[in-house]
Structures are given as structure tokens and as C-alpha cells.
Amino acid sequence: MMHHIVESQQFNRKNIGDIFALADTLEHTRDQSLTGKIMASLFYEPSTRTRFSFESAMLRLGGSVITTENAKEFSSVSKGETLEDSIRIVNTYVDIIVLRHDEEGASKRASLVSQVPIINAGDGTGQHPTQALLDLYTIQRELGKIDGIHIAFVGDLKHGRTIRSLSYLLGNFNNITIDFVSPEGLRVGDDIKLYLTEHGVTFHETEDLDALKEKIDVLYQTRIQKERFTSTEEYQKFKGCYQINREFADSMKTQSIIMHPLPRVDEILPEVDASPHAVYFKQAHYGLLIRMALLKHILTA
Ligand code: CP
């Protein structure tokens, strides 16, 4: 049973399976299982999917929500309050805190002072473990398996916390092959490569996406994260570097899927949305089920 959810390394096949089994039962659920429980969504960085899906999940289970969507401006952080003090205070008002922050390690810091569970909803370029769970759930639902898959992570792998968290989760499964597809300046971190090596996951780094299109089961596209670059000039060097169009989607093998954590900018053209390979909007819906399952799992223990 988990208290805080800070990083993907907390998960193993058993607890992933338990959460997925619970999520499978929640498709049309609106119940009162969390009546009386209060969730704070404390967001220091913008969000559409994560904040609204957690809030919708809590409301569908009969719980209540208090929220700040721009905590840097609308909370007492703007007066100089530390994250730790904010967490200590919010602890006295709620039963669980969903935290998004721009600094890597923020959720870990929060968990060290919090009596109520902290859920990491994305910490800078660090991790986004609940996104990774919904990504893995999408693969399970759409392909019917996780063991044995060949996945290509594409785009900004230097700043992308979702690919980091999903790589850690994939370390629990068998016969996984990962291709990290990016320009040299946006490569995945050495910590991920070390972890995958230690966990027997086969991986390669390449700039050539075309060579993979008929081999992969999952194309996991990511946005070039403009907000993480130190200058516009640096961002412009990489903008538009891998763009998925309908012709590319049509050339992928049957039953392969195209995923994206969203938001997208121009890295998947709208013409791909109607492709049978495109599952990124379903992926966002699966996030609601996973977050309902996590809230139930943590708050009804
Ligand atoms: N995928 C994801 O984290 O989206 P948001 O930034 O909209 O929450």
C-alpha cells in the first residue's frame, strides 16, 4: 500500500497490476466511496489533463477539491513562503495533495514534511509517475500486452519527464526494446540508460525515425519543451525536428499505436487524429480511470 507517490521506481508488477485491475472497473463509476475526503491540487506549473483529471476523479468518487492553478502567483509563495511551509499548512486542511512544480525533486521535498499523501503530478524535468501509469495502462488496453513490446520515444528526451517515468516502469517487464529517437542535443539522461541496463532492458539511441516505422509497436511522440530552453534561438534549432504526418502513420505496422502525453504543438499533425494508430486522446481518458484508481487505492486503505 502506497502513501506518497513520488517516482516510478516505487512501482512493481504487483502494484501496477492491482491499480490496472481497479481502473478496469471504474469506466462509468460515480460513487460516494471518498465522501468526506478533501484533495488539494497545488499546481505551480500549467496543466490541463493532470489537474482536471485528478479533480474529476475525486468528484466522481464523492470527494471534494480545493485548488490553485497558478500557485506561484496565487499562493503565499508570491510573498516568499517556502514549499515546505506551504505543504505543512495545506496538510491541516486536506487528506491528500496533488502537486505539480517546476523544480525537479519538489515532490520528494514535500513528502518529507507531509503527513498526508503527496502525489507527484510532474516535477520540472524530473518525473511524472501518474502519467507513466496511464501510459502503461494505454499500452495494456490497446495492445493487450506489455511484455515483448518495441517502443520508440521521440522528440525532446532531455526535458521530457513522461518518458523518464515510463522508462522506469518498463524496467519491470520482460523483453522490452526501447529506441530513443532525438537530435543529439536532446538525448535522454544517463541515469535512465544506467537504470535500463541494470534492469535488462534493450535500448538504442538514434536520430532515424523512418528506419523504425515498420518495426515498432508504440510510437511515443513528445513535444519540444520550449519553456525548458535557456533561449528562443536554442529552441528554434530543434522546433519541428520530428513531425508525424498521415503518410508516416499509414506506413506503420498494423496494430501499432501512436501515443503522446499531450499537449502537442506541431509534432503530430491534426490529419493523424483519424488514423487507427492514433490513441492519444483515448490515452488522456485512461488517465481519468488511473487517477480514480490511485485515489481509491490511497484513500480507502
Ligand atoms: N500530460 C500532461 O501532463 O498534461 P498537462 O500538462 O495538461 O497536465
What ligand 1 atom has the least distance to the C-alpha of 128? 3
Give the angle 218-223-226 at the CA atoms, nearest 5°.
165
Q: Does 19 contact ligand 1 (Cβ within 6 A)?
A: no
Which pLDDT value is given to residue 190?
A: 97
Instruction: Please identify, by atom number, the ligand 1 atom nearest to the C-alpha of residue 121.
Output: 3
pLDDT tens digits for range 49-92: 999 999 999 999 999 999 998 898 888 888 999 999 999 999 99
What residue ranges define each of the domains in the chain, with the CATH number in brackets?
A: 8-127+287-299 (3.40.50.1370), 129-283 (3.40.50.1370)
Picking from 231, 15, 188, 4, the residue whose alpha carbon sits closest to that of residue 106 is: 4
- Report which protein residue has its CA nearest ligand 1's atom 6: 47
Which band of pLDDT confidence, cut at 50, 70 and 90, is reported for residue 301?
confident
Choose among 86, 125, 89: nearest CA to 105.
125
Segment 141-158 mean pLDDT? 98
pLDDT, the chain, mean: 97
* Chain centroid offset of residue 15 CA: 17
Cis amide bond preceding 276, omega within 30: no
pLDDT tens-digit profile of 213-265? 999 999 999 999 999 999 999 999 999 899 999 999 999 999 999 999 999 99
Which residues are paired to 177 by β-bridges? 150, 202
Give the residue whose CA is nearest to atom 1 of ligand 1.
261
Here the cell at position 22 is: 481497479
pLDDT at 1 exceeding the cut of 90: no
User: How many Å apart are CA 301 and CA 297, to the nearest integer?
Assistant: 6
Would the pLDDT of 7 be above 90?
Answer: yes
Average pLDDT value for residue range 86-110:
97
Which of 42, 45, 49 should be mutated for ligand 1, with most atoms under 8 A from CB? 49
- pLDDT value at residue 78: 87
- Ligand 1: distance of its center to the CA of 229 in Å? 18
Q: What is the 3-state secondary structure (H, E, C) of the chain?
A: CCCCECCHHHCCHHHHHHHHHHHHCCCCCCCCCCCCCEEEEEECCCCCHHHHHHHHHHHHCCCEEEEECCHHHHCHHHHCCCHHHHHHHHHCCCCEEEEEECCCCHHHHHHHHCCCCEEEEEECCCCCHHHHHHHHHHHHHHHCCCCCCEEEEECCCCCCHHHHHHHHHHCCCCCCEEEEECCHHHCCCHHHHHHHHHCCCEEEEECCCHHHCCCCCEEEECCCCHHHCCCHHHHHHHCCCCCECHHHHHCCCCCCEEECCCCCCCCECHHHCCCCCECHHHHHHHHHHHHHHHHHHHHCC
Per the model's pLDDT, the better-predicted residue between 28 and 72 turns out to be 28
**Which pLDDT score, from 0 to 100, does residue 73 have?**
86
Ligand 1 contact, 109 CB (< 6 A): no
pTM listed for this prediction: 0.96
Give Rg (Cα) of the chain: 19
Q: Is residue 145 scored above 80 in pLDDT?
A: yes
In percent, how much of the chain has pLDDT > 70? 100
**What span, in angstroms and rounded, lies between the C-alpha atoms of 99 and 87?**
10
Q: For residue range 261-287, list pLDDT tens digits in order.
A: 999 999 999 999 999 999 999 999 999
The predicted structure's pLDDT at residue 176: 98
Q: Give 275 Cα–ligand 1 centroid separation in angstroms.
A: 22
Provide the pLDDT for residue 208. Answer: 97
Q: CB burial class (10 A; 0-12, 13-18, 19+) of residue 191?
A: exposed
Catalytic residue numbers, as ranges: 49-50, 79, 100, 128
Would you say the CB of residue 48 lies under 6 angstroms from ligand 1? Answer: yes
| Higher-scoring residue by pLDDT: 182, 240 | 182
Average pLDDT over residues 106-115: 98
- Cα of 276 from ligand 1 centre, angstroms: 23
C-alpha cell at 285: 481518458
What's residue 72's pLDDT? Answer: 87
- State the pLDDT at residue 177: 98
